[in-house]
Amino acid sequence: MSPAPDTADTLDQVKSFTDQKYKYGFVTDIEADTAPKGLNEDTIRFISAKKQEPDWLLEWRLKAFRHWLTMEEPKWARVHYPPIDYQDAHYYSAPKNTPLKKSLDEVDPELLRTYEKLGIPLKEQELLAGVEPTIAVDAVFDSVSVATTFKAKLHEKGIIFCPISEAVHNHPELVRKYLGSVVPYSDNYFATLNSAVFTDGSFVYIPKGVRCPMELSTYFRINAANTGQFERTLIIADEGSYVSYLEGCTAPKRDENQLHAAVVELVTHDNAQIKYSTVQNWYPGDENGVGGIYNFVTKRGACRGVNSKISWTQVETGSAITWKYPSCILQGDNSVGEFYSVAITNNYQQADTGTKMIHIGRNTRSTIVAKGISAGRAQSTYRGQVKILPKAVGARNHTQCDSLLIGDKCGAHTVPYIESRNKSAKIEHEATTAKISEEQLFYCRQRGLTPEDAVSLIVNGFCREVLKELPMEFAVEAQKLVGISLEGSVG
Amino acid sequence: MTWLNTLRSAGRARFAELGFPKVRQEDWRFTNLGALERTLFLPASPASALVAVDALPSVTPSHRLVFVNGGFRADLSAASERPDGVIIGSLAAVMASHPALVEAHLGQRADDAGHGPLALNTAHLADGAVLYVPKGVYLDKPVELVMIGAGGHEPLSWHPRLLVVLEERAGATLIEHHFSLGDGAATFSNGVSEITLGTGARLRHYKAQRENAAAFHLSTLSGRLEHDACYEGFLLTLGARLSRNEVRLVLAGPGAEAKLSGAYLLRGEQLGDTTTVIDHASPRCTSQQLFKGVIDDKAQGVFQGKVLVRPNAQKTDARQLSRALLLSDDARIDAKPELEIHADDVKCSHGATAGDLDEDAMFYLRARGIDRDGARALLIGAYVNEAIAEISSEPVREAFEALADHWLRS
């Protein structure tokens, strides 16, 4: 029996990366314009001035910063790390010579080469004549967006897809209306920090009744050392619209930990739908747990309109620490929230991730499928909340959390909170934990697969329910990642 | 006894430091003890309330110990013949007759720091019950503890301590009844149980709590199971304004087995909290949990169940299921099943559901000419009995079914 083509591909990839586990670990040598180290009101004024922001936004940032000073870093997640010195980092770093209004031709060739190396197409003209483009990319390099493709083509349909710093200038009414409306500046420690110092990120607005003709994508790259990345993404789907949005991220190999604290806000109006997919592949640290990104992210979507839908799909393979709970607030009647997650931790990685589904409207539905895989000395936690408020008549939730353990030094934990205030609501939660079955391994070994190939095959099968939710381009990449992330976990 | 005084003053100091738990503490986030804390309770004096012996519940011929407001009442208790070496008695009496035994075990299981109500119990340690079964002895008659609350004009509190020690291959059945006599001012029963099961020992432990609507009932059970020991527990909660059953079992020896089930039927403005922690500290242990709740009116059900598998506890098999039936628009359930797993060769699962009665099943019964109320009673009864069926002692199972049935029909 020969494995299915994509599985065979995975197996090949696993082999080809044996010596080069994290292939995105290179550094781009580029002159950068960097804020002095430290975090104070001057830093914020510096960032705001760099972006030539209006006063209201600066005030909002300062309000967030003053609030942040009164907050304490959360300690409830099952992650351990030495105290972070917030003064010992740069809060702004941008490649020099990036004009604010740029066309693709003006982008520094060194940057274009970087993205080419990362496998991200930043050139529109490379497409074959007559072939419709399937993906538009906003490339964020450290603190700024360096290029956005297919802006003009999207503009024809009335779609706005641009860096958020540009949206502040060109569409202030939209930004002002929605920024902080889902994740308020006072939300939590890391979201508040982000509100104070966010530098760039993507802004998407899909007008009424428009189905976005291509996938929109943001690629986040941390390059500079001793820099935190604080991006902010805001996506609004107006009545009856649809968009599929992808997010990818990588960072160089470094021995120091770097902080990444992003905020993503999604809003769907009546009958609108947002599909948000992430393949998170920040540098995870080496096999001794040195280095890696601290990924403390707040993602939340509000289904404001009736029949609207927000779907989160995430494949979390990178980062030394992941602290992330993409959530849905189901306000509109009949609105739908989905969360599909694969979290793979190996070596000394720690992941505390899950979701919140807050059912407010009638007949709101949510589905949660979370798969956690722990290997080496990693700790992986699913932490989720399903809350049914009294008015959510007929609400429905189904949750499935499965954990797979590889090796006896790792841990897998499940912490769901289930709170129902409505008798007509139906909630089901199931969780299982097991190791890779000896029988399955034996079966694969018997057919000539090496232990590593067998594990990769079985894990891919374990994650299938989630991986199939990803857009095609991402699904292939994610399958490869699953194999690579587990390198060296057996034997 | 100086050791006892030392224990008490340590409890006092710890309670002074901890106080009652607050909702911002993770373990207590759903259960607010504000109303309990605001009430000024007087310690109950050895009650002289008149209790007719035939008013006492009794399952089968048994060794019976009766307590009124936490104080032992020899006049109501029935001592019967017991095998050599078996000790059944009030804590105060056994402390006098077997001081070394009590000193060796008291406070051994329940010394977890950071637990306010437990520290409060230790601070007031005076009476309670002791069950000691020596090596190889199987006690065939069950031991019944009847804990009666007789509220007066003032709010009263008591803090009974239960000490159970089963030596190697010993066996026993223990039944607890908690109920109130009439109505009165608020009462606060704050019990602590310490259970030690030696190698191969087997304990069946059933508890029915139906105190009145003015009662606060906190109960903390801490148990340790050695090699191949087996604990079967059932918690039936029908009464009290606010109740919490907290069960912590450490499966300390390989092959130990815990079966823990329960049903909580709540109405009015009752709050019923079931919190369990099963600590798999050794290989090849199994744990099975099934909890079912029926919540009506403005009542609130809480279920928190944690399964912890320690790094060396390979071949663990742990299962847990929590189900809640919400019967009214104002009823609420908060559930937090939790898995914390540090070993890989394990099978662990939990499930939790919440919802109303199944419409299809209702329709099926209605189509057969059963009226709405009848069909509901039938379905709820069947749902609850599924949990009660976990009780392996037949007379206890029948008695608990009758109690649940009575609740459903009242």
Lowest average pLDDT, out of B2-11, B109-118, B258-267, goes to B109-118
Q: What is the DSSP string of B373-403?
A: HHHHHHHHHHHHHHHHTT---HHHHHHHHHH
B25 touches chain A (CB under 8 A): no
A·B CB contacts under 8 A? 116
Cβ contact A433–B348 (<8 Å): yes
So what's the pLDDT on residue A18? 35
The more confidently predicted of residues A21 and B171 is B171
Cβ contact B342–A418 (<8 Å): no
* Amino acid at site A87: Q
* Chain-centre distance for alpha carbon A84: 22
> Taking residues B140-160, what's their average pLDDT?
91
Q: Compute the distance between CA of residue A54 and CA of residue A141 in angstroms, rounded to an integer.
A: 23
C-alpha dihedral over A150, A152, A157, A163, to 10 degrees? 70
Which residues of B, range 26-65, sit inside 8 Å of A by Cβ? 26
CB atoms within 10 A of CB A1: 5
Cβ contact B26–A418 (<8 Å): no
End-to-end CA distance of chain A: 24
B340 touches chain A (CB under 8 A): yes
**In this structure, what are the phi and psi dihedrals at residue B102, rounded to the nearest 5 degrees?**
-65, -45
Q: Is the pLDDT of residue B15 over 80?
A: yes
Tokens of B2: 């100086």
List of chain B residues whose C-beta atoms are within 8 Å of the C-beta of residue A413: 338-341
Residue A63 DSSP label? H
For residues A150 and A132, the answer to whether their CB atoms sit within 8 Å is no
Cβ contact B328–A422 (<8 Å): no
Cβ contact A435–B340 (<8 Å): no
Residue B366 DSSP label? H
Q: Using CA coordinates, name the residue in chain A closest to B299.
A: A421
Cβ contact A426–B354 (<8 Å): yes
So what's the pLDDT on residue B59? 61
Q: Using CA coordinates, name the residue in chain B closest to A430.
A: B351
So what's the pLDDT on residue A486? 74
ipTM of the complex: 0.89
Query: So where are chain B's domains?
Result: 2-362, 363-410
B327 touches chain A (CB under 8 A): yes
**Closest to A218 in 3D by CA, of A248, A261, A262, A194:** A248
What's the pLDDT band for B49 if we cut at 50, 70, 90?
A: low
So what's the pLDDT on residue A112? 77
Residues 6+ apart with CB under 8 A from B378: B365, B370
φ/ψ bin of A373: left (φ > 0), alpha (ψ from -120 to 50), beta (otherwise)? beta
From residue A384, how far is each of A413, B30, B73, B260 by CA, in Å? 11, 16, 49, 25
Return the beta strands (E) in A222-308 as ranges. 232-237, 242-250, 257-260, 263-268, 273-280, 292-303
So what's the pLDDT on residue A42? 92
Residue B328 DSSP label? S
From residue A241, how far is each of A204, A208, A268, B409 by CA, in Å? 12, 6, 9, 53
SS3 A211: strand
B336 touches chain A (CB under 8 A): yes
Return the beta strands (E) in B44-120 as ranges. 63-68, 71-72, 87-90
CB atoms within 10 A of CB B171: 18
Identify the sign of the CA torsion A70, A75, A79, A85. positive
For residues A90 and A35, the answer to whether their CB atoms sit within 8 Å is yes
| Mean per-residue pLDDT of chain B | 93
Residue B138 DSSP label? B
Cβ contact B346–A433 (<8 Å): yes
B333 touches chain A (CB under 8 A): yes
Closest in A408, A416, A421 to B344, CB measured: A408
B344 touches chain A (CB under 8 A): yes
pLDDT (tens digit per residue) in B354-372: 999 988 999 999 999 999 9
Residues 6+ apart with CB under 8 A from B81: none
Nearest-Cα distance to chain A for B147, in Å, is 33
Cβ contact B341–A412 (<8 Å): yes
Cβ contact B352–A411 (<8 Å): no
pLDDT (tens digit per residue) in B65-76: 999 999 999 888
**Closest to B76 in 3D by CA, of B50, B98, B102:** B50
Nearest-Cα distance to chain A for B298, in Å, is 10
Mutate which: B295, B300, B334, B342, vs A, most A CBs within 10 A: B342
Q: pTM for the complete prediction?
A: 0.90
B55-B60-B62 Cα angle (round to 5): 90
Closest in A390, A413, A435 to B345, CB measured: A435
What residues form DSSP beta bridges with B324?
B293, B354
Tokens of A245: 């949005």
Q: Please report which residue ranges of B34-156 form alpha helices under DSSP H.
A: 34-38, 91-97, 99-105, 116-123
Cβ contact A419–B342 (<8 Å): no
Mutate which: B341, B357, B376, vs A, most A CBs within 10 A: B341
Residue B265 DSSP label? E
List of chain B residues whose C-beta atoms are within 8 Å of the C-beta of residue A411: 340-342
Identify the sign of the CA torsion A368, A398, B23, B43. negative
Residue A106 DSSP label? G
Residue ranges of chain A whose pLDDT lies below 50:
1-20, 100-101, 126-129, 491
Residue A450 DSSP label? -
Q: Using CA coordinates, name the residue in chain B closest to A78.
A: B340
Residues 6+ apart with CB under 8 A from A188: A74, A298
> Taking residues B201-217, what's their average pLDDT?
96
For residues B34 and B181, the answer to whether their CB atoms sit within 8 Å is no
B355 touches chain A (CB under 8 A): yes
Q: Using CA coordinates, name the residue in chain B closest to A412.
A: B341
So what's the pLDDT on residue A476? 77
For residues B73 and B100, the answer to whether their CB atoms sit within 8 Å is no
So what's the pLDDT on residue A124? 60
List of chain A residues whose C-beta atoms are within 8 Å of the C-beta of residue B346: 405, 433-435
Tokens of A41: 């009101």
Closest in B330, B335, B340 to A418, CB measured: B335
**Closest to A385 in 3D by CA, of B30, B295, B271, B340:** B30
**In this structure, what are the phi and psi dihedrals at residue A110, rounded to the nearest 5 degrees?**
-60, -40
> Taking residues B220-238, what's their average pLDDT?
97
Q: Using CA coordinates, name the residue in chain A closest to B321.
A: A430
Q: Is the pLDDT of residue B191 over 90?
A: yes
Residues 6+ apart with CB under 8 A from A105: none
Q: Using CA coordinates, name the residue in chain A closest to B351.
A: A430
Closest in B330, B341, B356 to A433, CB measured: B341
What residues form DSSP beta bridges with B20?
none
List residues of A whose CB lies inside 8 A of any B CB: 76, 388, 390, 403, 405-435
B359 touches chain A (CB under 8 A): no
Cβ contact A428–B347 (<8 Å): no
Q: Compute the distance between CA of residue B155 and CA of residue B105 in angstroms, rounded to an integer.
A: 32
Q: Which helix (H) or strand (E) holds A453?
A: helix A451-462
* Amino acid at site A129: A
Q: Compute the distance between CA of residue A153 and CA of residue A253 in angstroms, rounded to an integer.
A: 36
**In this structure, what are the phi and psi dihedrals at residue B277, rounded to the nearest 5 degrees?**
-135, 115
So what's the pLDDT on residue A467? 87
Q: Using CA coordinates, name the residue in chain B closest to A410.
A: B342
Cβ contact A405–B352 (<8 Å): no
B339 touches chain A (CB under 8 A): yes
Q: Compute the distance between CA of residue A10 and CA of residue A12 in angstroms, rounded to an integer.
A: 5
Nearest-Cα distance to chain A for B23, in Å, is 15
B299 touches chain A (CB under 8 A): no
Cβ contact A425–B354 (<8 Å): yes
Q: What is the DSSP string of A360-413?
A: -STT-EEEEEEEEEEETT-EEEEEEEEEE-TT-TT-EEEEEEEEEEESTT-EEE
So what's the pLDDT on residue A3? 42
What residues form DSSP beta bridges with A420?
A388, B333
Q: Using CA coordinates, name the residue in chain A closest to B343.
A: A408
* Amino acid at site B179: F
